[in-house]
Amino acid sequence: MNSPTIPSATGLRAALSREIKTGELLRALIVVGPMVAAYFIARETALLNLGLVAVSLLIPALRLHLPPRVIAWHCLAILVTFAALFLAAPVKPLFVVLTALAGFLAVAVTRYGEHFRTLGNWVFIPAVYLACEVREGVSASEALRHAGVIIVSSPIALALVCAIQVYDQRRRDAGAATSFGPPAAEWFLPAAATAMAVFAAAALVEILDLAQGQWVMWSAASVVVGDLSASTGKLKQRAIGALVGVPLGFLAGIVLPQSRIGYALAVLAATLTLISFSRYIVGFGLRCFFIALAASFAGGASGIAEERIVNVLIGGTFGLVAVALTEIVWLRVIRKARSSG
């Protein structure tokens, strides 16, 4: 009678093993878990945000097999970019320009090796996110203290990631990467499109004083992944993930009571989704779910849930428009060059 359930259970395990990258998940737990534990002990919210720095260091380190020296430079790049954007935030025009410049540089570095795009992305994402998140709803002095805790505590995240990387390289008897791939032939077009999209997104956030504005800027840069077709596909995935994950997270938050433990675990789960899933749409959908759930535990899911969906769609639309404009301009340049030649 029970035999029919065996294949289904086996199929479920196989599906989960394909969907969940267990090795990456365990390593992310090792580097982010201590931040959550420290949050419980010290009751310091900045330590939860430090988890984003840790996983942002871990993702390129694992994907590109980076040596500790490069990981340390990556950490410094995140902190410098974060500090620049954080300090520029009170001067809105300056913040908009610097954010667009950060988006441009995140892609332009592929001129020296196409794999630098991964490093560039994981400098831009945590720096922009934290620059906005740290100032959200607190006084200037509290925001400065929060930023200081993140910067001072960052060597902990760096040490954990480097330790994992050294262990992996010794266990596999494999050396660290010595090359970042061939230089990207077409680097300026996507870099310009990213800068345009981020500039428009940041300007809108500052003009309208949008809450959770980091998601507009993050989404604007995220969909610039190639030509218009590829960027449209990326926006569809993000839209589906937000439209499904955010309401479900909000509904779960209605059922569950507000809890500091629940909040920390939901933030931990949201951070782990950045690295733990094979398919982007699944990871992003679960990330939206856990962020809405975390907001619910903190007492504000309804408004944040709506903002999350709107911000993802607005930012993605800016990204698509920027890709389309750069493609149109580039085609005209090519035509003129051919006609003059």
Q: Is the pLDDT of residue 303 over 80?
A: no
The strand pairing partners of 277, in sequence order, are: 20
Mean pLDDT over 155-167 rounds to 94
The helix or strand, by DSSP H or E, that contains position 116, with its residue range, turns out to be helix 116-133
89-99 pLDDT per residue, tens: 999 999 999 99
**The predicted structure's pLDDT at residue 337:** 66
Mean pLDDT over 263-267 rounds to 91
Mean pLDDT over 234-260 rounds to 90
Contact 319, 196 (CB under 8 A): no
214-222 vs 188-208: helix crossing angle, rounded to 10 = 160
118-130 pLDDT per residue, tens: 999 999 999 999 9
- What is the phi-psi region of residue 183: left when phi exceeds 0, alpha when psi lies from -120 to 50, beta otherwise? beta
Mean pLDDT over 313-318 rounds to 92
Q: Is the pLDDT of residue 1 over 50?
A: no
Token duo for residue 222: 């995220």
Contact 157, 57 (CB under 8 A): yes
Distance between CA atoms of 61 and 44, rounded to whole angstroms? 27
**Candidate from 31-45, 118-132, 147-161 with smallest mean pLDDT:** 31-45
**Candidate from 77-81, 244-248, 333-337 with smallest mean pLDDT:** 333-337
**The predicted structure's pLDDT at residue 178:** 65
Q: Is the pLDDT of residue 313 over 50?
A: yes
| 82 residue type, one letter | F
Distance between CA atoms of 149 and 152, rounded to whole angstroms? 5
Q: Provide the 3-class DSSP secondary structure of residue 227.
A: coil
**The predicted structure's pLDDT at residue 204:** 95
What pTM did the predictor assign?
A: 0.90
**The predicted structure's pLDDT at residue 257:** 86
339 confidence band (pLDDT: 50, 70, 90): low
